[in-house]
Amino acid sequence: MKVVVLYPVDVVGMWHQAKVADLGITKSYSLKREPSNSNDRNAFAVMDGEKRMGYLKWEDAELISPIVDENRETIRKLWFKASEVSRPSKRGPMQKGQIAFYIEESDETRMKTLFPSRFMLSVKKTN
What CATH number is attached to the domain comprising 15? 3.30.70.2330
- Non-local CB neighbours of 86 within 8 Å, separated by 6+ positions: 14, 21, 22, 23, 93, 94, 95
| Residue pLDDT, tens place only, 56-110 | 999 999 999 999 999 988 998 999 999 888 877 777 888 999 999 999 999 999 8
Cβ neighbourhood burial of 23 (10 Å; 0-12, 13-18, 19+): buried
Q: What is the count of structural domains for the chain?
A: 1
Dihedral sign, Cα of residue 61, residue 9, residue 103, residue 31: negative
Domain extent, residue 88, equals 2-125
Measured distance between the N- and C-terminal CA atoms of the chain, rounded to whole angstroms? 8
Residue 39 has pLDDT above 90, yes or no: yes
